[in-house]
C-alpha cells in the first residue's frame, strides 16, 4: 500500500496511477472525509483537488459562439462540475466578446491604396490598347513573341503606355526585370544592377531587362554607364522618355538601341480604356452585371477622354475621382462632377513642347493668320513661358518675315521687348498681343533675309569667295604709308556725284557682277490646293477692294 499524494488515502501500489487518472474518485471505499481533526477520532480531511488532476469539461465553443451571435444565452458550467470559478468567468467573457473583424493582409492594403490607373494596368499584350507597335501586326510585338527583344528607347507622351509595355515585355519573355527611375537613381546603383545581372546570367542563364524610366534625366556623361553592358548583352535596356531622343540621348547609346515612337492616344482609345476600367471596378448585381452610376454614362466618359488630352493615366485618375464623387453623394449631377475636375495645361518650358509651340506661333505670324498667332501666344503665356523669350522672337520676325515690306515693325518689336522688360506680366501680355497682330497683318518680305542666305551659301561652297582679298580701292588708308602703297587708290566718293551713282565694283574680283539680292520680296511657288478651292480669287478680290478703298 502507498499513500496517495493528493487525497492521502492508502492505495495499492498497482492502482495508484489509475486512482490519480480518475481524480481520486474511483474507489468506492473513499467516503467523504470527516471535518474532524486528526487525533480526535475523526477521519483525515481531504485536501482540495489540484486543477491539474481535475476532469476537464468538454467545450462546445463553435456552437456557443453561434448561440452568442444569434443573441441566445449560454449555460456556463457550475463550480460543482469541476471547473474553477475564475476559469468559468474567463470562458464566459471570451465567448460573450464580439467576434473581431478579419484584419487585411499587407498585400490587400497595398491593393486598396493603389490608384485606379495602377489597378487596371494591362498585364498581357492583348490588353494593351491604342498602340499599333504591340498590336496583332506590330513590329515590336513580333520581336516580343520571338523573344528577341533588343535594347530600345520608348519615346512617347505621358500616359501613352511606355511603362506598361516594358513590364509586359519582361513578363512575356520570363526575364529578370529591374525597374529604376532616373529621377532617384544614380550611376552607382546602375553599376550594382549590372553586377547582379552578370551573376544571374552566369548562374542561371537568365537575362536581365533593365527598365529606366525618364532616362533623359541622366546627363549624357551619365548615360555612358549603359554603353558597355548593352553592347555586351549583359543587360537588355528599355529606356522610356517623353523628350526627343535625338536631343536628349547620346548618339553612342542611340546606335546600340532601337527607338520606338509611341503615338498619342486618341479620344476613342481613352474612352475605351475608361469604359473597361469602369466595368472592372464597379460593384456587380446578382447576375454579375456591373452597377455603373448613372452619372458616368457615355457622354461623361467622352467628356473625360477629351479632358485627358491623350493621357490615359490622367483619364483614369479623373474617372476615379468621378466614381468617388458619384458613390459618395447620389445627388451629384454630371455638371457637379465636371466642376470638380481641375484642368492642368501641359506645357514643358524646356522640352519639345517649348520649341513646337514657338514654332507654331512664328509660322502663324508668317502665314498672316492673326487668330492662330494669338492662340499660340495665349498657350505659351498660360503655360508659364518666359515673355521675354516671346518678345525676342518677335524682334527676329520683324526682320526675317516682314523685313523690307514694312520697316516700322522692327522698331515696334524692339519697343515691345523693352515694354515687357519694364512692365512684366500680366500687363505685358497686352503689348505682346499688340505686336503679334501687327506682325501677322503686315505685308511680308524675305528679300533681305534671302539675300543674306545666298551670301552664306556662296561662302560655304566656294573657297575662292571666302578667301578673296578686298579690292585695293575699297581698302581704308588711314596712314601715309598705306596711301603710298596704293590703299584706297581709285575710290570714287559717291556723295560727290550726281544722285550718288558711279561705275564702281564693290565685290572681290572673283565675284564681280554676282547678284545676291533679288527684286522680288516673296517666292514664286503657287499653292495648288488654294487655287483649286477658289480661295485665291476671293483673297485677291478682297485685297483689291482694300487697295481701292485706301486710294
**What is the arithmetic mean of pLDDT over 353-376?**
88
Decide yes or no: CATH 3.40.50 for domain 267-340: no
Residue range 510-528: mean pLDDT, rounded: 74
For CATH 1.20.272.10, the residue range(s) in the chain are 352-445
Cα gap 534→528, rounded to integer Å: 10
pLDDT in tens, 443-456: 998 888 888 888 88
39-97 pLDDT, tens per residue?
444 444 555 555 555 555 545 545 444 444 444 444 444 444 444 555 555 555 555 55
What are the φ/ψ torsions at residue 9 (nearest 5 degrees)?
-85, 160
- Long-range contacts of 356-365, Cβ-Cβ distance < 8 Å, separation of 24 or more: 357/383, 357/385, 358/385, 358/389, 358/390, 358/393, 361/390, 361/393, 361/436, 362/393, 362/397, 364/440, 365/397, 365/401, 365/436, 365/439, 365/440
User: With a threshold of 0.75, does the pTM exceed it?
Assistant: no
CATH for 352-445, options being 3.40.50.2000, 1.10.3720.10, 3.90.245.10, 1.20.272.10: 1.20.272.10
CATH 2.60.40.1110 fits 116-261, yes or no: no
Q: Is the pLDDT of residue 354 over 70?
A: yes
The mean predicted confidence, pLDDT, of the chain is 77
CATH 3.40.50.300 domain position(s) in the chain: 116-261
Outline which parts of the chain fall under CATH 1.10.8.
267-340
Task: Please name which of 431, 444, 367 lies closest in space to residue 405, comparing C-alpha atoms.
Answer: 444
For residues 159, 161, 162, 165, the Cα torsion angle rounded to the nearest 10 degrees is 160
pLDDT at 134: 84
Amino acid at each position: 500500500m502507498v499513500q496517495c499524494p493528493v487525497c492521502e488515502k492508502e492505495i495499492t501500489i498497482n492502482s495508484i496511477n489509475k486512482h490519480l487518472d480518475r481524480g481520486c474518485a474511483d474507489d468506492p471505499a473513499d467516503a467523504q472525509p470527516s471535518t474532524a481533526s486528526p487525533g480526535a477520532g475523526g477521519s483525515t480531511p481531504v485536501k482540495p483537488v489540484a486543477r491539474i488532476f481535475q476532469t476537464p469539461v468538454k467545450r462546445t465553443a463553435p456552437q456557443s459562439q453561434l448561440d452568442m451571435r444569434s443573441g441566445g444565452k449560454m449555460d456556463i458550467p457550475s463550480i460543482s462540475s469541476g471547473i474553477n470559478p475564475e476559469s468559468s468567468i474567463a470562458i464566459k467573457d471570451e465567448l460573450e466578446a464580439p467576434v473581431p473583424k478579419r484584419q487585411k493582409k499587407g498585400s490587400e492594403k497595398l491593393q486598396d491604396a493603389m490608384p485606379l490607373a495602377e489597378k487596371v494596368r494591362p498585364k498581357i499584350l492583348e490588353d494593351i490598347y491604342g498602340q499599333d507597335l504591340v498590336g496583332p501586326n506590330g513590329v515590336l510585338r513580333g520581336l516580343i513573341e520571338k523573344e528577341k527583344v533588343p535594347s530600345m528607347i520608348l519615346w512617347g507622351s505621358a500616359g501613352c503606355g511606355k511603362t506598361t509595355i516594358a513590364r509586359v515585355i519582361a513578363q512575356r519573355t520570363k526575364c529578370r526585370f529591374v525597374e529604376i527611375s532616373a529621377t532617384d537613381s544614380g550611376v552607382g546603383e546602375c553599376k550594382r544592377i549590372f553586377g547582379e545581372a552578370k551573376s544571374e546570367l552566369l548562374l542561371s542563364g537568365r537575362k536581365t531587362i533593365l527598365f529606366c524610366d525618364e532616362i533623359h534625366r541622366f546627363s549624357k556623361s551619365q548615360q555612358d554607364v549603359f554603353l558597355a553592358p548593352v553592347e555586351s548583352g549583359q543587360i537588355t535596356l528599355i529606356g522610356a522618355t517623353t523628350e526627343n531622343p535625338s536631343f536628349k540621348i547620346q548618339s553612342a547609346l542611340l546606335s546600340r538601341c532601337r527607338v520606338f515612337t509611341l503615338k498619342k492616344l486618341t479620344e476613342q482609345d481613352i474612352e475605351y480604356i475608361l469604359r473597361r476600367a469602369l466595368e472592372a471596378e464597379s460593384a456587380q448585381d446578382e447576375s454579375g452585371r456591373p452597377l455603373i452610376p448613372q452619372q458616368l454614362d457615355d457622354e461623361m466618359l467622352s467628356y473625360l477622354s477629351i479632358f485627358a488630352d491623350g493621357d490615359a493615366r490622367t483619364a483614369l485618375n479623373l474617372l476615379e475621382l468621378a466614381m468617388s464623387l458619384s458613390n459618395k453623394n447620389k445627388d451629384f449631377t454630371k455638371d457637379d462632377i465636371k466642376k470638380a475636375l481641375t484642368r492642368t495645361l501641359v506645357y514643358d518650358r524646356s522640352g519639345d513642347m517649348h520649341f513646337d509651340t514657338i514654332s507654331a506661333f512664328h509660322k502663324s505670324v508668317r502665314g498672316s493668320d492673326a487668330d492662330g498667332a494669338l492662340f499660340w501666344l495665349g498657350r505659351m503665356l498660360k503655360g508659364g513661358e518666359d515673355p521675354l523669350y516671346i518678345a525676342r522672337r518677335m524682334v527676329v520676325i520683324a526682320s526675317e518675315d516682314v523685313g523690307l515690306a514694312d520697316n516700322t515693325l522692327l522698331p515696334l518689336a524692339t519697343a515691345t521687348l523693352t515694354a515687357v522688360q519694364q512692365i512684366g506680366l500680366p500687363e505685358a501680355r497686352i503689348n505682346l498681343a499688340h505686336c503679334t497682330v501687327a506682325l501677322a497683318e503686315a505685308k511680308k518680305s524675305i528679300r533681305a533675309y534671302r539675300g543674306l542666305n545666298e551670301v552664306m551659301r556662296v561662302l560655304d561652297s566656294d573657297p575662292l569667295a571666302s578667301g578673296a582679298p578686298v579690292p585695293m580701292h575699297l581698302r581704308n588708308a588711314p596712314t601715309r604709308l598705306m596711301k603710298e602703297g596704293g590703299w584706297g587708290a581709285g575710290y570714287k566718293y559717291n556723295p560727290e556725284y550726281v544722285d550718288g551713282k558711279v561705275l564702281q565694283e564693290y565685290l572681290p574680283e572673283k565675284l564681280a557682277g554676282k547678284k545676291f539680292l533679288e527684286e522680288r520680296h516673296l517666292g514664286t511657288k503657287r499653292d495648288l490646293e488654294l487655287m483649286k478651292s477658289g480661295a485665291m480669287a476671293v483673297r485677291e478680290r478682297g485685297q483689291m477692294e482694300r487697295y481701292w478703298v485706301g486710294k
